[in-house]
Structure 1
């Protein structure tokens, strides 16, 4: 026993020594930071490794910063450690408050904005602070008392500089170790920034601050060097490439509502795809072939590292993502944009985005303001958003999300522009058993085989939403757009892809065509069909503006109207490759697009010239695009060319959004207002088992699906359906418990009606 006590005394730090006080300070800073990670922030740490990183990542900067005091002696060293601890605590405390309100961390741009940040956060600070928040200051108070009462005595011994340097170096090495482990678990952590939560979770709150400062300064330098003449060159380039509108289709959707349905990770090959003797996506197939739907079967995703955020950027701005990172994350807060929501707002449209995840993901809460979205209905607007049964992967399950989305959609003054982002069909394509209605594929690749199950679930959710639009009277008053944001199965899974496509071997052009995603536009009364024009996400905005009858001469766009006969059928990819209606470039090789045959351009003067011109066009396009974004060049546009968005007038706080929506009912143009002020949610039918529907099942004997819903089972008593946004937040309505289902497929009714 004496030996044990002796050993403990030998290794236990003497807190009356400078080194002992240093170790104690490092421990206390780490402890309270880890406490905040667990109880004040929602970092989504899962598994032992990520939990270990939460403990590890506060330590390196605590050692580095506190070791500054070791270069001094006596009282100066102790008070320096107290001051450094205080500064870190103030930073931690400020982020706790900011995160509670905005689900994000303080950035340098937010600090620069001062008291006017995001609708005057400081005015509401009293309502944000909770007594528990002051826990982070307790250690400082205790240490101060111990020092003042001399319970901890100041050691006046000089610390050897070698030891001080060793501690600083140790902190740096430990930071590198943390970064190495984090990078292994999350590749491209700093180059492909999804969300500030990832930086904090893997590297730490202090490291996030350093990263944000570096990125902000890089962007500031690019902006400083930019000139208005740079924008003039780009305007000349985009004007040269503009095309004449299609006289037949221009304005066909003029004045109609617009709903853009974002099909997460959904690829073109899945349309009309059959597995296990059945259509995987019958509702989407019916929409694809609807007589009023124009469907593009040579439409490619063109995303870079920004993935979904790049798709949204192209969709609503006709701008490519940059070579690295996400434009929405890196530039969404500070840049000037000329986005679809802003353009349509000037035309009298109500603009809204819907997403069943936290608003900070991809910096949407800031980027959407820059784009001019009046409303952003994120996770906090939905009933019981943290219920684990309602969530999967990156947010709310699609069926639950879409049913609540309808409750807000019915209250938007018409005409409206609404973007609805689904998430269930997202990697790793896991789905709880109660929602599975089709068997996995049998490629042997565990990453791939669940894809058909989540795609089927997405299809069912869309079918339910489509049925509601018809019953609520929106189907023939709305231009409905469906698009896939990016691939769901990467080309790293070639053996599985070959099996899905029924091929023994994949060619280089097969892999390029694997990047195709759906793009479908249904305009009531306009004849549709399958359109074979080559295009990509960069072309969506000009195509939709044309259908809406909006002239876009003043809009800087890198895409062109897919319906124009002058549309240049060249699809640039972010890495410099491209595909056209004639040829395809992959690396330094070229192929005939139709056949996949590899060619040597030098052997044919005509081919050589076409490829030379196309390479020049693609290189110039991407170069000008990056200069436009990185230099924030649209700020130089005149007021007659671009109407600025007043972001100070936009708030996505739940209470503010609900109040604004309630006030907007006075216009009398919303679906709900036109229904005598009564909710239309009695018309929304879902078979989501979480809301009282029947569980999806598979009959192992004959593989029959129990996939349907009996639409007549919904009660029509509007008193049981939420009639105000406030009541939507308090519950889905008592009708959910009264749904019943039968074996008739939910897709059958929507398929037959949409093909009429």
Structure 2
């Protein structure tokens, strides 16, 4: 094996003046400082409440990782040495623009989804064409910090650009910076324990310890995070098969999940009745049974409570797929994948325990009426694969009145009623509203609440107006079902898909003046009501979320447990376990620390089950 003379190599570098070339490239050092500062500012902002401010107390976390940010910045800027002459500073400007776009996109996306832009989402850009208003609503004044450098860069370049006229390409400079950055990063992130694991495996293990994107982002910085994300993207594109250890974890999960409790009064409570779900866009729990400036926000939903099971410890669990994740959770009882949207990545996955499948086992007719276009977020193939027999999308609804992202809730429910009237009974149907989607902008004629001007113009007031409008349309819809004689034999399940005003505008709520205390925090809660005209009012305080809806409704509808025993959720009406797992790995409920640590692993396990299409292979 040929020995490398390290001393000789350094002498050659010195003789070739490679180090001098790097040292004398003044703009390289200017841009390096800019890149490091942007990385530190960005990672400090995303740690702040609502990712909307710069808190000095959080700066230390970012500064502690400054060496890592510097090395990744050097790697990125090293490509400028491949160009010659003025091309070098032009490459650096382009790289600065690229980094700025990445950072701004990341901070916007983080405010909305507690995650960052990734390669899986780039595959889905066609799905964001109607989200312009929502994106603009995520802007905060502090974001201007990321473009300040462009205001003085023209002066800097003018001062130094003459020095670049005769600059030559320096592949050695490029290779030297890239190599040394990589070596120091390896030292920084790896323990160089070559005895039992490869370097790459050590990196993965160290990063996998950090479950949440925010933790990885602070650790790596924006450049390093997206390099890792690229590696993760291509790695995830490969067919995934469960390992022997994974199979063991699956068995342990289902063994632990099985409670074997005696049936109670809720078993088959609604047997043979129609089952109709109403998924309400951005409906939070804090508005239920509340008034604003003397006006009831959700009078029709409040009225339903008189004949409902009301679950008051029910939490959102969506991830990168947002509303589409709720469709997944509610109908398939699995947690979403951790990277990208499940419907987009795995639209054809099979779930034998899905709600439409278990209802079909009882000879129910199944259908869904969706306000979006059929291929938006891959709704049509995903919902078809779940087992829905009839699917109606915006194309079939022939939208006449559009508010915000799509068909108005008023027109939607009018057309949905006509569809339901034609359905064979008993049926299982799903309806989905859309008007109360962020940024909650309603035409003035549909702002039915008489709010003071200062409240009516801010996000909280707009949210109240949007939810009140949707509540009115829900009330009209249920009244019409009653007039048609359908309501008597129907169970209505009403719930929010995810939180709304607190999800996107918590920072603005915190800064509001003259706000009422109950506006401050919704605590990630969404309401769940199971309504029937003849049902006495009751409140269920067991902790749960959308992943638990399949076994809970299956139990109420008289489905044999064997048809949903592979669901990841549990029956909230017959369980001794009291917990819910949020998408950020937080576990709420009455649990021990040991249980919390074990329950957190369920999100990773579900990710593996979906990626391997486990249920299809096990049928």
Question: Does TM, scored on the shorter chain, surpass 0.5?
Answer: yes
Moved more, 270-279 or 187-196: 187-196
Residue 464 of structure 1: CA displacement?
Answer: 0.9
1:557 partner SS: coil
Residue 391 of structure 1: CA displacement?
Answer: 0.7
Query: For residues 486 and 337 of structure 1, what CA distance do their matches in structure 2 show?
Result: 25
Query: For residues 499 and 308 of structure 1, what CA distance do their matches in structure 2 show?
Result: 32
2:479 partner SS: helix
Q: Does 1:197 align with 2:149?
A: no
CA contact (8 A) 2:353 2:567 kept: no
Q: Does 1:458 align with 2:436?
A: no
Matches within 5 A, 1:411-426: 411-426=422-437
Matches within 5 A, 1:121-200: 176=98, 180=102, 183=105, 187=109, 188-190=116-118, 193=121, 195-198=124-127
Moved more, 362-371 or 256-265: 362-371
Q: Does 1:572 align with 2:587?
A: no
Query: For residues 226 and 241 of structure 1, what CA distance do their matches in structure 2 show?
Result: 20
Residue 629 of structure 1: CA displacement?
Answer: 1.8
2:573 partner SS: coil
Q: Does 1:563 align with 2:573?
A: yes
186 and 198 in structure 1: CA distance in 2 versus 1, 3 angstrom threshold: farther
CA contact (8 A) 1:258 1:481 kept: yes
Residue 213 of structure 1: CA displacement?
Answer: 11
- Cα deviations across residues 208-244 of structure 1 (Å, max 9, x unaligned)? xxxx9999854442x4432587446414412422333
CA contact (8 A) 2:404 2:437 kept: yes
Query: For residues 377 and 513 of structure 2, what CA distance do their matches in structure 1 show?
Result: 33
Query: For residues 495 and 336 of structure 1, what CA distance do their matches in structure 2 show?
Result: 42
Query: For residues 246 and 497 of structure 1, what CA distance do their matches in structure 2 show?
Result: 49
Report the TM-score when normalising by structure 1.
0.51
Which residue does the alignment assign to 2:412? 401
Gaps spanning 5+ residues in structure 1: where?
1-160, 203-211, 583-609, 639-756
173 and 429 in structure 1: CA distance in 2 versus 1, 3 angstrom threshold: same
Query: For residues 181 and 422 of structure 1, what CA distance do their matches in structure 2 show?
Result: 32
CA contact (8 A) 1:228 1:636 kept: no
Residue 516 of structure 1: CA displacement?
Answer: 1.2
Gaps spanning 5+ residues in structure 2: where?
1-82, 110-115, 132-228
CA contact (8 A) 1:356 1:378 kept: yes
1:492 partner SS: helix
Q: Does 1 or 2 have the higher relative contact order (CA < 8 Å, sep 6+)?
A: 2
- Equivalent in 612, 615, 619 of residue 596 of structure 2: 615
Q: Does 1:473 align with 2:485?
A: yes
Equivalent pairs counted in the alignment come to 429
CA contact (8 A) 2:120 2:340 kept: yes
Which residue does the alignment assign to 1:356? 371
1:362 partner SS: helix
CA contact (8 A) 1:192 1:305 kept: no
Residue 419 of structure 1: CA displacement?
Answer: 0.7
Residue 318 of structure 1: CA displacement?
Answer: 1.5
Residue 201 of structure 1: CA displacement?
Answer: 9.8
- Cα deviations across residues 308-346 of structure 1 (Å, max 9, x unaligned)? 122222111111123332212222235656421122223
213 and 240 in structure 1: CA distance in 2 versus 1, 3 angstrom threshold: same
523 and 547 in structure 1: CA distance in 2 versus 1, 3 angstrom threshold: farther
453 and 613 in structure 1: CA distance in 2 versus 1, 3 angstrom threshold: same
Residue 273 of structure 1: CA displacement?
Answer: 0.9
Q: Which runs of 4+ in 1 moved over 6 A?
A: 168-172, 199-202, 212-216
380 and 170 in structure 1: CA distance in 2 versus 1, 3 angstrom threshold: farther
Query: For residues 433 and 379 of structure 1, what CA distance do their matches in structure 2 show?
Result: 24
CA contact (8 A) 1:353 1:420 kept: yes
Provide the alpha-carbon RMSD of the alignment. 3.6
303 and 253 in structure 1: CA distance in 2 versus 1, 3 angstrom threshold: same
CA contact (8 A) 1:430 1:454 kept: yes
Which residue does the alignment assign to 2:384? 369
Matches within 5 A, 1:479-558: 479-490=491-502, 491-495=506-510, 501-502=516-517, 511=521, 513-523=522-532, 525-553=534-562, 555-558=565-568
Residue 553 of structure 1: CA displacement?
Answer: 3.1
Query: For residues 525 and 444 of structure 2, what CA distance do their matches in structure 1 show?
Result: 30
- Cα deviations across residues 9-65 of structure 1 (Å, max 9, x unaligned)? xxxxxxxxxxxxxxxxxxxxxxxxxxxxxxxxxxxxxxxxxxxxxxxxxxxxxxxxx
Residue 578 of structure 1: CA displacement?
Answer: 1.8
- Equivalent in 235, 240, 257 of residue 241 of structure 1: 257
Matches within 5 A, 1:618-629: 618-629=599-610
Q: Does 1:289 align with 2:289?
A: no
Query: For residues 514 and 546 of structure 2, what CA distance do their matches in structure 1 show?
Result: 28
Which residue does the alignment assign to 2:290? 273
Which residue does the alignment assign to 2:339? 324
CA contact (8 A) 2:332 2:353 kept: yes
CA contact (8 A) 1:320 1:538 kept: yes
Which residue does the alignment assign to 1:105? none
* Structure with the higher helix share, 1 or 2: 2
Query: For residues 571 and 529 of structure 1, what CA distance do their matches in structure 2 show?
Result: 21
200 and 464 in structure 1: CA distance in 2 versus 1, 3 angstrom threshold: closer
Residue 498 of structure 1: CA displacement?
Answer: 9.0
342 and 169 in structure 1: CA distance in 2 versus 1, 3 angstrom threshold: farther
Which residue does the alignment assign to 2:393? 378
CA contact (8 A) 2:306 2:536 kept: no
CA contact (8 A) 2:350 2:386 kept: no
Query: For residues 552 and 216 of structure 1, what CA distance do their matches in structure 2 show?
Result: 37
Matches within 5 A, 1:738-749: none
- Cα deviations across residues 514-548 of structure 1 (Å, max 9, x unaligned)? 31111000245443412222222221111000001
Query: For residues 569 and 359 of structure 1, what CA distance do their matches in structure 2 show?
Result: 37
Query: For residues 175 and 339 of structure 1, what CA distance do their matches in structure 2 show?
Result: 46
